[in-house]
Amino acid sequence: MTTVNATLRNLQVSARKARLVADQIRGKQVEAALNLLALSDKRVARPMRKLVKSAVANADVKNDREKAGIDVDNLVIARIFVDEGPSRKGVRSRAQGRANWIRKSTSHITVELEER
């Protein structure tokens, strides 16, 4: 089976929040996953939708370049996983000369499509 993947790196959202959306679309047909992401009210759904569209475009290009025989209409999200990325760190001023650290979490999202 031919697999096609796309990766989104350093998205400023925690991996835990992104995994909630990734779990919803894992194993679904691409068209159904795109519809689900379009209707989702989670902030990570929009970049994840763009990522799935990018993977479909990669499949189309691979099909043209290598004559792989991939039918874009039968693609399924075989694997989608979210890894933690680097955390941006900053300082927030507090009362009486104190300071608190702030961590801005990032994540890396990888989508693998397969034809079924």
Structural class in CATH, domain 3-115? alpha beta
Position of tokens 């779990």? 23
At 1-29, the pLDDT tens digits run 788 999 999 999 999 999 999 999 999 99
Is residue 88 within 8 Å of 10, Cβ to Cβ? no
Q: Residue 108 has what pLDDT? A: 98
CB environment 75-100: b (16+ within 10 A), e (fewer): bbbbebebeebeeeeeeeeeeeeeee
Task: Identify whether the C-beta of residue 6 lies closer than 8 Å to the C-beta of residue 69.
Answer: no
Domain boundaries, the chain: 3-115
58-100, pLDDT tens digit by residue? 999 888 887 767 888 899 999 999 999 999 999 999 999 999 9
pLDDT of 49:
97
Residue 21 CB neighbour total at 10 angstroms: 23
